[in-house]
């Protein structure tokens, strides 16, 4: 079977779908990845993929987007895949349309959260973008054979707005977590010591971590405001924010907001996610809307309690007062209160962490998720899901060991 995967960010595909791609190759699929060049090109090639680079911006630029569709069409006509899989907004819309024009027999898409695409528009520019995305998605929903949703809220939204017929919808929660990589047993003690020194964390510091793209709908402002409230707790706490920053988007976070304080520090984009989670005591994501947030699942897989919002996607991760707390969206005071309840109660942190670890291993592991994805989305009968573990090669590049 020949599969073309159309994506928009090289490193995002590596982070979110490397195990899925490895499982497809393991099941004798010929996979071509159509994605802009990026930092993970060599790592992705190591999976046994062919990579075709087509540049595309995350932002809406009509002329560039037109040429993007045309380039996709030409590539798909040339390689003639049996299935095209698309992920994220532009591939899901432009990629699906290009695949239909190219006569691809089967088109499947993944919706890992609608994000800002379906938020109520504010400015005139946002209203225009909103209208364009809606119409493009409706066209794509007509062309697609299956659309994979990671939470029921998004699935119901697409059905309610008649973007895609219900019979084309597939609900499989999350893209899967590699519980071989993310595990309390898989901790590099020396790296933890180095991180604590880098972040200037004393032995008694309670570390509260948020891993996310740095923009306002992720709840960054609420996280920072909660850190300011924590200044009155008389507890040694450190709020660590890590992630890539978009300085020029409509929802950009200002330099002033990210200035360090006694309780808050922005540490930039990081690749050592597992070690940051290992050094953390609590993991949080006060986002307004997600697919199923990977950072929370990875935190749970490391045995950490989580605090998140009672919002689409986020609520999928938490059984309230069992493995974490759910708080209302855009409420920094209740976010701070939930975090404080865990800061002062070590036994609760440990109990929630154990419950979260059990939940992620029984519901969200790669083995469980990818079995369904290969069978129900790609139509592969009796797929074999391999054991996969990430390892660095001699040049420090992360590779996957598949067995």
Mean residue pLDDT across the chain: 92
Largest CA distance in the chain: 64
Sign of CA dihedral 114, 118, 121, 125: positive
pLDDT in tens, 257-287: 999 999 999 999 998 999 999 999 999 999 9
β partners of residue 148: 110, 170
Closest CA to 239 of 216, 218, 212, 260: 260
Q: What is the pLDDT of residue 123?
A: 67
Using DSSP bridges, classify how beta strands 388-392 and 398-402 pair: parallel, antiparallel or unpaired.
Answer: antiparallel
Query: Is the per-residue pLDDT at 396 higher than 80?
Result: no
**Do the two domains 2-176+365-402 and 189-363 of this chain adopt the same fold?**
yes
What pTM value is reported for the model? Answer: 0.92
Closest CA to 249 of 295, 213, 224: 213
- Whether the CB-CB separation of 47 and 18 falls below 8 Å is answered with yes
pLDDT in tens, 23-82: 999 999 999 999 999 999 999 999 999 999 999 887 777 788 889 999 999 999 999 999
Residue 63, C-beta contacts closer than 8 angstroms, at least 6 positions apart: none
Query: Topology of domain 189-363, per CATH?
Result: Rossmann fold (3.40.50)
- Whether the CB-CB separation of 332 and 222 falls below 8 Å is answered with yes
- Domain ranges, ordered by start, for the chain: 2-176+365-402, 189-363
Q: Which CATH number fits domain 2-176+365-402: 3.30.230.10, 1.10.10.60, 3.40.50.2000, 3.40.50.2300?
A: 3.40.50.2000
pLDDT in tens, 383-392: 999 988 877 6
403 band by pLDDT with thresholds 50, 70 and 90: confident
Q: What is the pLDDT of residue 304?
A: 98
């Amino acid at each position: 079977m020949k599969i073309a995967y159309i994506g928009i960010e090289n490193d995002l595909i590596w982070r979110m779908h490397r195990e899925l791609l490895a499982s497809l190759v393991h099941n004798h699929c010929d996979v071509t990845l159509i994605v802009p060049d990026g930092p993970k090109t060599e790592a992705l090639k190591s999976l046994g993929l062919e990579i075709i680079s087509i540049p595309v911006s995350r932002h809406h630029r009509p002329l560039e987007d037109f040429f993007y569709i045309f380039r996709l069409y030409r590539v798909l006509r040339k390689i003639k895949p049996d299935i095209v899989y698309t992920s994220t907004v532009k591939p899901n819309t432009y990629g699906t349309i290009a695949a239909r024009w190219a006569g691809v027999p089967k088109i499947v898409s993944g919706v890992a959260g609608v994000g800002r695409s379906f938020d109520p528009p504010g400015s005139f520019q946002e209203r225009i973008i909103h209208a364009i995305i809606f119409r493009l998605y409706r066209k794509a929903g007509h062309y697609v054979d299956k659309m994979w949703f990671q939470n029921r809220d998004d699935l119901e939204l697409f059905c309610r707005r008649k973007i895609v017929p219900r019979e084309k919808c597939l609900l499989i929660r999350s893209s899967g977590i590699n519980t071989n990589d993310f595990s309390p047993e898989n901790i590099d003690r020396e790296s933890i010591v180095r991180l604590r020194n880098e972040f200037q964390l004393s032995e008694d510091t309670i570390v509260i971590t948020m891993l996310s793209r740095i923009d306002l709908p992720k709840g960054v402002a609420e996280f920072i405001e909660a850190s300011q409230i924590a200044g009155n707790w008389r507890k040694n706490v450190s709020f660590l924010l890590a992630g890539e920053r978009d300085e020029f988007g409509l929802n950009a976070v200002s330099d002033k907001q990210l200035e360090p304080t006694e309780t808050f520090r922005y540490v930039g984009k990081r690749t050592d996610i597992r070690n940051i989670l290992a050094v953390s005591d609590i993991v949080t994501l006060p986002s307004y809307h997600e697919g199923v947030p990977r950072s929370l699942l990875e935190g749970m897989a490391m045995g950490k309690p989580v605090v998140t919002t009672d919002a689409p996607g986020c609520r999928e991760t938490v059984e309230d007062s069992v493995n974490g707390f759910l708080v209302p969206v855009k409420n920094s005071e209740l976010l701070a209160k939930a975090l404080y309840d865990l800061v002062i109660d070590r036994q609760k942190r440990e109990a929630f962490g154990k419950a979260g670890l059990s939940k992620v291993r029984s519901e969200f592991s790669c083995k469980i998720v990818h079995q369904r994805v290969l069978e129900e989305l790609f139509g592969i009968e009796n797929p074999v899901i391999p054991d996969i573990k990430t390892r660095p090669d001699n040049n420090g590049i992360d590779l996957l060991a598949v067995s």
